[in-house]
A and B are shown apart, each in its own frame.
Chain A
Amino acid sequence: MGKKWGRIGAFFAIVIAIGILISQTAFDVARNTNLGLDLQGGFEVLYELQPDGERELTEEDIQATASALNERVDVLGVSEPSITVEGDDRIRVQLPGIEDQEEARELLSTGAELSFRDVDDELMLTGEDLQQGGASTGFDEANQPIVQVTLEDGELFGEITTELSQRPEPENLLVIWLDYDEDEHSFYEEANEPDPAFISAPRVSEPLPTDTVSIEGMESLEEAEFLAEMLNAGSLPVQIEEIYSNTVGASLGEQALEQTLFAGMVGVALILLYMMAYYRFMGVIASLTLMVYIYLVMILFNSIQGVLTLPGIAALILGVGMAVDANILTYERIKEELKDGRSMRSAFKLGSRRALGTIIDANITTIIAAAVLFYFGTSAVQGFAVMLIVSILTSFITAVYGTRLLLGLWINSRTLNRKYWLFGVKERDVRRGL
């Protein structure tokens, strides 16, 4: 008698403890989940690194480019940017929740290679002659925004300006370029354009023995700040080219999240109702373990820093199906044993054991598929695969061991003996006298 109520008491203690744990922390777990671009809006771009002439790309080039991109993203102030190297020449940048994707694009892809040239496009100074982090904004006498850069070597600048100031007008210009391209740009062509590709071309009428240089020609303070930040973030070690981009509007992302979550809840509710209708008491146990399953999957997913995408949500809900399958396999076996006339306890034991082999075989084959997906997939598919693997492992633990524990407490309490109805077994189907 004491033992019987002890087991049932333990069952309720576990259920209540789980209930309290989930209700107290579920909100935080949901809030800590990283949402993918498709669910919160944002901008994603995939760059391909261009090898420089004959030289091949090295691991260092890729890492250096990735960290340069990282510094630039910092300028944008995105809350959770993600910069990942893919393959051996790709870098994917994901900027969730970004407002101005045009600015982001420009900031990311510019070489930020400042150069000072004469009117014949001969190189006088490069970005490497600038002091690290030495760019700042200010205003000139006419109250126009300017960018001030500090040079490593003031003497060099003195020599250059001495030489330039001796040239006749209008050849005594110091043309300042950002991302000068030999094949595309020439000063004389651009000078006639209404919106030239160079930033400014100040006249040098006297030698300037100084290490600070002002860049004029900014249209607004924002533009000046943008340029200063870009120069401080540094130039990219290699050229990059945009090969894929994806923008999701914030309101569309939010809508997608709400709709899919709602659909998921309806789906899960239907599953739980069906399980309880078909497997009665065992269905109730299955519902409990399913709730734990969903909770655990979210915790695990957060702890591996997974990013939840739309396909990920689908994988989570389909994972519910996998967990249910493990329950169904076990319950069907238990029912079969009960119909064969076995006692509750031996039906439970035999049924659980017989179903286990099948569950393992079925789960491993799905994990094989998910692992292949993860290995070969691109980011969205990889997210799906990670979710699928996490789902299968968790479902195995909750559906096999969770069910064994919770159902076992009731079975071993013997309160359910001969209550076939509770297991969805008709009494007349039970073969007697085995």
Chain B
Amino acid sequence: MDFNLADKNVDLIKHRKTYFLFTIAIVLAGAILLSTLGLNLGIDFESGTRVDLVSEEPLTEEEIENEIAAVGLTADDITLAGENNEQASVQFIGDLDQEEALELQGHFEEAFGHEPNMSTVSPQIGRELAINALIATGLASLGIVIYVAIRFEFLYGLAAITALLYDAFFVVSAFSLLQLEINIPFIAAVLTVIGYSINDTIVTFDRIRENVRKEEQEKDIEDFDHLAGIVNKSLLQTLTRSINTVLTVLFAAVAIWLLGSEAITSFAFAIVIGLVAGTYSSLFLAAQLWLVWKNKHMQKQREKPAKEMEGSES
């Protein structure tokens, strides 16, 4: 078990156009999914009432529908969960009034033997939460870009943020494809993914920067192949760390996903998807984008009069 490929002849750069095409295809697919299937917004964003119930025996949708009808209500959505379908989540879009909600709660407790979980959100709160989540994501990204631009340079920041947005978008698209519920913990999951994505990219960029400095001490980096060689070497050097880190975090996230409480299943699942996307984007998107952009930038520099360049180099 050794992921150390630094001394082997692996070229991660050669197929960069394929990676870019692949990434674009994924983004397009995601955009199509979002515009057709849309997102399954939970009541955190929609306004309404959600009832989570648990029973000793396996449940069926029909059974639950009947119990709800007994109180004189109709549910908008019923989802069964748990190993033997002994759990269920029932949603009522729109504001169920307090009395109705209480009656339903009492009824379920009687029918299934456990007090259900119940969550009610008014329309105004749902909208606010959605807007706040978007603002938070935007500001977190902005803060990260500024930090990276200061600590590294702007092109690193730009590449890192592209990878980050891709990761977040990938998770959202996956949730659209599988029609999993978007709730507040999901937002926390996406922000965690953003944190990890940037973490991973920064580690790679750190190594690229270090290697670029080392090479420049010996001779100027002149052509694309030279720069590509450095990026490839850096990627291979950090590969073991990338794989080991993502594996260990995956151990935790998968364990919570498969064994943890129903309430955070989708939270953990979002993190699992995000971790995989984040590893991909650090290796095949962020570093490669930086390489292409940096090369263009250097070409522009070279086209300027030689004198000016010498001046700026010294």
A375 — which chain B residues lie within 8 A by C-beta? 136
CB atoms of A264 and B256 under 8 A apart: yes
B253 — which chain A residues lie within 8 A by C-beta? 267, 318
Interchain nearest-CB distance for B134 vs A (Å): 10
Interchain CA distance A364-B151 in the complex, whole Å: 11
CB atoms of A369 and B259 under 8 A apart: no
Interchain nearest-CB distance for B218 vs A (Å): 17
B144 — which chain A residues lie within 8 A by C-beta? 365, 368-369
Q: Does B125 contact A (CB under 8 A)?
A: yes
B→A interface (CB under 8 Å): 1, 52, 54, 98, 102, 105, 109, 114-122, 124-125, 129, 132-133, 135-136, 139-140, 143-144, 147-148, 151, 184-185, 187-188, 191-192, 194-196, 198-199, 202-203, 206-207, 237-238, 240-241, 244-245, 247-249, 251-256, 258-264, 267-268, 271
Q: Does A263 contact B (CB under 8 A)?
A: yes
How many cross-chain pairs have Cβ atoms below 8 Å apart between A and B? 216
CB atoms of A328 and B248 under 8 A apart: yes
In the complex, residue of chain B having the shortest beta-carbon distance to the beta carbon of A247:
B118
CB atoms of A247 and B105 under 8 A apart: yes
A315 — which chain B residues lie within 8 A by C-beta? 192
Interchain CA distance A259-B124 in the complex, whole Å: 34
Given A260-B260, A262-B259, A373-B140, 7 additional A-B pairs, CB 8 A? A252-B52, A263-B258, A263-B260, A264-B260, A266-B255, A362-B202, A372-B136
Q: Which residue of the partner chain, among B196, B202, B254, contacts A358 with CB atoms under 8 Å? A: B202
A124 — which chain B residues lie within 8 A by C-beta? none
Q: Does A329 contact B (CB under 8 A)?
A: yes
Q: Which residue of the partner chain, among A250, A369, A378, contacts B184 with CB atoms under 8 Å? A: A378
The verdict on A38 contacting B203 (CB below 8 Å), with A249-B114, A368-B144, A369-B144 known, is no
Interface centre among A259, A277, A314, A329 (most CB of B within 10 A): A314
Main DSSP-derived SS at the A contact region: helix
Instruction: Pull 21 A–B residue pairs with CB atoms less than 8 Å apart, ordered by A.
Output: A243-B125, A244-B121, A249-B109, A249-B115, A252-B52, A264-B252, A264-B255, A274-B244, A274-B251, A278-B244, A320-B252, A322-B199, A325-B248, A328-B245, A362-B198, A369-B144, A369-B192, A369-B198, A376-B132, A377-B132, A384-B185
CB atoms of A267 and B114 under 8 A apart: no
CB atoms of B143 and A314 under 8 A apart: no
Chain A 205-245, CB-CB to B under 8 Å as 1, else 0, gives: 00000000000000000000000000000000000001111
CB atoms of B195 and A366 under 8 A apart: yes
CB atoms of A267 and B147 under 8 A apart: no
Q: Which residue of the partner chain, among B147, B185, B260, contacts A365 with CB atoms under 8 Å? A: B147
CB atoms of B136 and A275 under 8 A apart: no
Q: Does A270 contact B (CB under 8 A)?
A: yes
Interchain nearest-CB distance for B213 vs A (Å): 12
CB atoms of B199 and A366 under 8 A apart: yes
Q: Which residue of the partner chain, among A268, A321, A361, contacts B245 with CB atoms under 8 Å? A: A321
